[in-house]
Amino acid sequence: MRTIAITSATGFDHVTPDGHPERVARLEAVSRALAPLSPREASPATREALLRVHDAAHIDQVFAASPSDGHVSLDADTWMSPGSLNAALHACGAVIEGVDAVLDGDAEAVFVGCRPPGHHAEPDRAMGFCLFNQIAIGALHALEVRGLGRVAVIDIDVHHGNGTEASAEREPRLFFASVHQGWIYPGTGAAHETGRHGNIANRPLPAGATGDTWHPALDELIEAVRAFQPDLLLVSAGFDAHKDDPLAGLALDEGDFARAGTALARLAQESAHSRLVCVLEGGYDCPALERSVAAFIGALQAA
């Protein structure tokens, strides 16, 4: 697939407290993996774009919390420094630009490598390192601004994307599918959660699961998305299911992420008009993150 990358240097200005796993070094690792693609620099999202997903009160709260110095805690896990708000806005803008790029034919696949991540942010609150839910914002941009009829999100992060699922609960044109480790943060994503519109599919896996278990679960989600017949495929590309990651307990390696990239690219080619936008979420062992992102992107390019 013709593949481009979009990132933002503002992500280096989102500085979390010492010892926090969602740290600047993550973007340094991802930037090294993306360097061969000569990434484009993103522009910030507008308030109007945020409002397609988030309640006005939540947006106002995040803006008001932005500190002039030091750190502010939004919850036990989610922190802001003076550069965090700008980084989050650019991360959302990057996904919108990625959606536009594949819809305009500039690329078939886009990898958005920005931080902070977004898939835990719910319509009315920040949580789990996430301020705004950029993949949901990209999906609603595709539906409301670009006029698509159906959009699907597959989340391969080790943690369930509760915020994106909450958006799917509100929007029947959005299909959300997630493979993740069950019974860890945020405690959602049970198999029985299918949504009032039937547009949600979850495959929780036990700790210690390897690719032998993970890939069949992903294949089930791929078939569910294929049946939905989306006009665009988005992927929450978290790499914290890697065996070296400190925040969870699955046992994938970079070869598994390459295999996933191939499968997701094939799905986009066959069922989503060769339109694929992948958005960085988790991945907290930086060497494993760099190797996994490089393997995943290599698979997209080769597809």
Task: Record the tokens describing residue 137, joined without a space.
Answer: 């914002």
Return the CATH architecture of domain 3-302: 3-Layer(aba) Sandwich (3.40)
d(CA 165, CA 120): 9
DSSP 8-state class, residue 44 = P
d(CA 47, CA 88): 12
The pLDDT value given to residue 130: 98
Average pLDDT value for residue range 3-26: 98
| Among 54, 58, 90, 120, the one annotated catalytic | 120
Q: 120-175 pLDDT, tens per residue?
A: 999 999 999 999 999 999 999 999 999 999 999 999 999 999 999 999 999 999 99
Q: Quick one: pLDDT band at residue 74, thresholds 50, 70, 90? A: very high
Q: Quick one: pLDDT band at residue 247, thresholds 50, 70, 90? A: very high
Amino acid at site 141: H
Task: Record the tokens describing residue 242, joined without a space.
Answer: 């890697």
CB atoms closer than 10 angstroms to residue 65: 16
Catalytic annotation on 119?
A: no
The pLDDT value given to residue 151: 99
Q: 75-131 pLDDT, tens per residue?
A: 999 999 999 999 999 999 999 999 999 999 999 999 999 999 999 999 999 999 999
Name the nearest CA neighbour of 191 among 224, 226, 236, 229. Answer: 224
**179: left (phi > 0), else alpha (psi -120 to 50), else beta?**
beta
Sorted by sequence, the CB contacts under 8 Å of residue 70 that are 6+ apart come out as 81
Buried (b) or exposed (e) across 96-116, using 16+ Cβ within 10 A?
Answer: bbbbbbbbeeebbbbbbbbbb
The pLDDT value given to residue 177: 99
* φ/ψ of residue 240, rounded to 5: -85, 5
C-alpha distances in angstroms, 3 versus 22, 36, 59, 212, 286?
26, 11, 32, 28, 23
**Burial zone of 287 (CB within 10 Å; 0-12 exposed, 13-18 middle, 19+ buried):** exposed
Name the nearest CA neighbour of 104 among 136, 142, 133. Answer: 142
Percent of the chain residues topping a pLDDT of 90: 100
Q: Quick one: pLDDT band at residue 54, thresholds 50, 70, 90? A: very high
The pLDDT value given to residue 49: 98
Across the chain, mean pLDDT equals 98
Q: Quick one: pLDDT band at residue 24, thresholds 50, 70, 90? A: very high
Q: Quick one: pLDDT band at residue 17, thresholds 50, 70, 90? A: very high
Average pLDDT value for residue range 189-204: 97
Average pLDDT value for residue range 38-43: 98
The pLDDT value given to residue 72: 98
The pLDDT value given to residue 3: 98
